[in-house]
Structure 1
Amino acid sequence: MADQAQIPGGLDVTRPNVARMYDYYLGGKNHFPADRAAAERVIEISQGHVREAVRENRAFLGRAVRFLVRERGIRVFLDLGAGLPTQGNVHEIAFDEAPDARVRYVDNDPVVAAHGRALLAGDPRVEFLEADLRRPEEVLGAFAFDGPVGVLMVSCLHFVPDEEDPAGIVARYAAALPAGSHFVISHVCSDALTDIMAQTGGVYGNANAPFEARPRAAIERFFGGLELVEPGLVQLHEWRPEPDSLPLRADIMAVLGGVARRP
């Protein structure tokens, strides 16, 4: 559990932070009282199902990375809004499949950046950039890409409000990257749980980034101009599940995920 001795200078820990809240949902240790209080409120609103959702989100990420390495030959990954290091990091999954893979992490949170650099120090296959995914030109200008890229936008676009044009941000990355690049996107869907999503948005309204669950039709627009891989945009647990996958506890998985290729 994070304590005052671990607080970087000038960091405001009195305001909930979405990366640290996510870490709390996953059972991590990098969070402060404000993060825990906000996360517990979301757990209460969701009747505990947010924990299952974040676990399924990590499992979806792992399956997608393995698919891209094994079946699409991707060897370079760009993880946008990477969040705090946790079990099953992208580089660990990718390197298990292909030791020659390379991973570029991006996050605009200074605590995330500090933890990421400490974790990844000494491995030339991995880099961490403290930058904002909402500025594609800045992010892409920091790295050299000489072939198709696996772009991971996993549970980050619902923290980008409509006025900042999240679909346009995805399109700018797609336009700048080589043909054959793939995009992995997961996003909270509001269709079946409108009231719960509105209450959750209220909690995140006090955090460092707003939360905006979107209807399926809006999430589909993120894949505009891209070729969706089967089975398309589906509930996370339905995307190429492992044979031994456990059934959901909840009646519905309110997070959709999909993988698409840039033609």
Structure 2
Amino acid sequence: MTKQAPGGFDVTQPNVARMYDYYLGGKNHFPADRAAAERIIELSDGHVREAVLENRAFLGRAVRYLAAECGIRQFLDLGAGLPTQGNVHEIAMKEAPDALVTYVDNDAVVAAHARALLEGDPRVRFLLGDLRSPEEILAAASESGLSFERPVALLMVACLHFVPDEEDPEGIVAAYRELLPSGSVLVISHACSDPVPEAMAAAGGVYGRANAPFEARPAARIAGFFDGFDMVEPGAVPLNEWRPELDALPLRGGFLPVLGGVGRRP
């Protein structure tokens, strides 16, 4: 029997946003989410927690770089997930108070939390939508206040590995590329299967019972998402190697099977 929370969503099926929140030490999760997340923690020997923390740190560095050094003032965050510490609007607006941020997610759980958090700030919007529909997303973002006459930062952080091959993730990214104005930037982080293929395949089995599938990909496939963009140095690299802070600590696990990068549309 399906059990629903007061907001009307199913709490018996693991939810990838709530699992991510659990990895980060948040409080927005249910027993099914915790059980699935603990299985992923076991499969990764605990390194998934380090990976998600590095993912948040990468996102923060990328947004700061774009706002402070590149003059980007518009951010479109796809597959935004549950609000947590160091959200895109908080980072961007610290560097540029005139920044505009639109979050997009297709998860009703995320929508409920995000709207409660973001209510009252005209510079921040949340859209319920599916990143697999680029034209619809950009049309809705335009209506929400973003101008596609000026550069936009398109953030696809830790979301493309939840888009299976049969839904053509490369084609989706290419469609966004063609719709974005010159000077726009693409930020991607993506789980990489090369270092630990068996563990990544096992993780896919766990996520196969959640609300979205999971598919880690080889480094060459991840780099291919940036086709048509000029890569910002150092390219698509393990997250901890992308413009690290001077006081960054070494990885506990010795390597990070998640790549990230930033590309600029000519």
Class of the TM-score when normalised by the shorter of the 2 chains: over 0.9
Matched, 1:217 2:215: no
Partner of 1:7: 6
Query: Distance between the aligned counterparts of 1:71 and 1:183, measured in 2?
Result: 15
Matched, 1:184 2:187: yes
Query: Distance between the aligned counterparts of 2:229 and 2:117, measured in 1?
Result: 33
Which residue identity is paired with 1:140?
L
Partner of 1:77: 75
Matched, 1:172 2:175: yes
Which residue identity is paired with 1:139?
I
Q: Deviations over 1:21-65 (max 9, x none)?
A: 000000001111000000000000000000000000000000000
Q: Deviations over 1:203-245 (max 9, x none)?
A: 0010000000000111111001111000001000000000111
Which residue identity is paired with 2:259?
L
Query: Distance between the aligned counterparts of 1:165 and 1:82, measured in 2?
Result: 20
Query: Distance between the aligned counterparts of 1:216 and 1:83, measured in 2?
Result: 24
1:246 to 241, 244, 249: 249
Partner of 2:30: 32
2:210 to 182, 207, 212: 207
Partner of 1:123: 121
Query: Distance between the aligned counterparts of 1:133 and 1:56, measured in 2?
Result: 23
Deviation at 1:72, TM superposition (A): 1.1
Partner of 2:63: 65
Which residue identity is paired with 2:6?
I
Query: Distance between the aligned counterparts of 2:248 and 2:223, measured in 1?
Result: 26
Query: Distance between the aligned counterparts of 2:168 and 2:138, measured in 1?
Result: 18
Partner of 2:95: 97
Tell me if the contact between 2:192 and 2:219 (Cα under 8 Å) persists in the aligned partners. yes
Deviation at 1:6, TM superposition (A): 5.5
- Segments of 5+ residues of structure 1 without an aligned counterpart are none
Tell me if the contact between 2:4 and 2:11 (Cα under 8 Å) persists in the aligned partners. no
Count matched residues. Answer: 259
SS at match of 1:19: helix
Which residue identity is paired with 2:211?
N
Tell me if the contact between 2:22 and 2:34 (Cα under 8 Å) persists in the aligned partners. yes
Matched, 1:155 2:154: no
Deviation at 1:7, TM superposition (A): 3.3
1:109 to 104, 107, 110: 107
Matched, 1:258 2:257: no
1:20 to 18, 21, 29: 18
Which residue identity is paired with 2:7?
P
Query: Distance between the aligned counterparts of 2:100 and 2:177, measured in 1?
Result: 19
1:236 to 239, 244, 265: 239
Tell me if the contact between 2:93 and 2:99 (Cα under 8 Å) persists in the aligned partners. yes
SS at match of 2:203: helix
Q: Classify 1:175/1:5 alpha carbon distance in 2 versus 1 (closer, same or farther; 3 Å).
A: closer
Query: Distance between the aligned counterparts of 2:5 and 2:166, measured in 1?
Result: 35
Query: Distance between the aligned counterparts of 2:129 and 2:51, measured in 1?
Result: 26
Q: Percent identity?
A: 72
Query: Distance between the aligned counterparts of 1:138 and 1:27, measured in 2?
Result: 34
Query: Distance between the aligned counterparts of 1:70 and 1:206, measured in 2?
Result: 41
- Segments of 5+ residues of structure 2 without an aligned counterpart are none
Matched, 1:41 2:44: no
Deviation at 1:5, TM superposition (A): 9.3
